[in-house]
Amino acid sequence: MNAKIPLTYAIFVNHHLIKIIPMSYDKSVSDHYLHGNLLNAIEAALPALGKTTTTVTIADLAPVDEFHIGGRQATDHLLAQLNFSEHANLLDVGCGLGGAARYIASQFNNSVTGIDLAQEYIDTGNALCRWLKLENKISLVQGSALDMPFNNNTFDGGYMLHVGMNIEDKATLFAQIHRVLKPGATFAVYDIMRQSDGELTYPVPWATTSSTSKLATSEQYQQMLTQAGFTLIKATNRHDFSVDFFNQLRAKIAADDGPPPLGLHTLMQQSAAQKVKNMVANIGKGIIAPVEMIVQKP
């Protein structure tokens, strides 16, 4: 369960503590994801792939820019169940670096708008769009999914990949998503959901402590999506896929004698191994699992 740890930050001048200021929840979440030099870190890995910023491909970037369990494989699994090929204008909620947005826009020739709290992810993601010459198809903007700067009935469809774990007020989240989608639009959620009671081991990729981890059960997701006005089309528990994915990843890293040039370690740096290890252990104990939910706005 989530312990109530106050979120604060301290101001020091000449090593003297001047003030302790309450930190906004959104800042705590975006600080968790802050790298500090992310675009340069990605660019620095390109020579090891034999690539430059002009020759790098969407596939090269997938290990770093699809920040959810199963990466591109998981995105493909979700996409195979959607009808985005017919959709012109899509929404990516909590887009991160926009890897899924670039992949989907290039597959189906549609436009994707992404929104994310983390300014560094938005700036880095927009730079990656320029590398791939996709900046005319994709627009990534900084903002909160709880207060999206988009008009009602704007998008033909959308998706949210591993974002709800940071958002407590899922009723407002789904009401906002419902508001900006057009009637008939399909929306896909792929989040880590709580499967049973039990303390999570931290840090995990989405939170350093329990203070910014806001997991909900599949039943709670379904209830809140329905309350927001969506019709549930399909829900799929991806527990077994996630276990297989991490087993294969571990075997590949061992066989290759280390991680590839680009990967989640590029995003999470030194904490990557511990965060992934804890997440895998939490999945192994049956406390959490990734779940897909596909819904439609009637």
Ligand X SMILES: C[S@@+](CC[C@H](N)C(=O)[O-])C[C@H]1O[C@@H](n2cnc3c(N)ncnc32)[C@H](O)[C@@H]1O
Work out the burial of residue 58: count CB atoms within 10 Å of its CB; fewer than 13 is exposed, 13-18 middle, 19 or more buried: middle
**Tokens, residue 116:** 């994310």
Nearer to ligand X, 45 or 91 (CB): 91
Shortest separation between residue 12's beta carbon and ligand X, angstroms:
26
Shortest separation between residue 165's beta carbon and ligand X, angstroms:
7
Residue 32: how many CB atoms within 10 A of its CB? Answer: 20
Alpha-carbon gap, residue 162 to 288, rounded angstroms: 13
Shortest separation between residue 96's beta carbon and ligand X, angstroms:
3
Positions touching ligand X (CB under 6 A) are 29-30, 33, 66-68, 94-96, 99-100, 115-118, 121, 144-146, 161-163, 166-167, 205-206
Alpha helices in 201-271 (DSSP H): 218-227, 239-255, 264-268
Alpha-carbon gap, residue 180 to 224, rounded angstroms: 17
Residue 259: how many CB atoms within 10 A of its CB? Answer: 16
Cα 233 to its chain centre, rounded Å, is 22
Nearer to ligand X, 52 or 271 (CB): 271
Shortest separation between residue 18's beta carbon and ligand X, angstroms:
29
Nearer to ligand X, 26 or 183 (CB): 26
Nearer to ligand X, 30 or 110 (CB): 30
Alpha-carbon gap, residue 79 to 168, rounded angstroms: 26
Nearer to ligand X, 63 or 96 (CB): 96
Work out the burial of residue 208: count CB atoms within 10 Å of its CB; fewer than 13 is exposed, 13-18 middle, 19 or more buried: middle
Shortest separation between residue 88's beta carbon and ligand X, angstroms:
21
The H or E element that residue 65 is part of is helix 58-65
Nearer to ligand X, 141 or 235 (CB): 141
**Residue nearest ligand X, Cβ-based:** 96
Shortest separation between residue 172's beta carbon and ligand X, angstroms:
10
Nearer to ligand X, 38 or 100 (CB): 100
Shortest separation between residue 101's beta carbon and ligand X, angstroms:
9
Alpha-carbon gap, residue 150 to 246, rounded angstroms: 37
- 42 with 127: CB under 8 angstroms? no
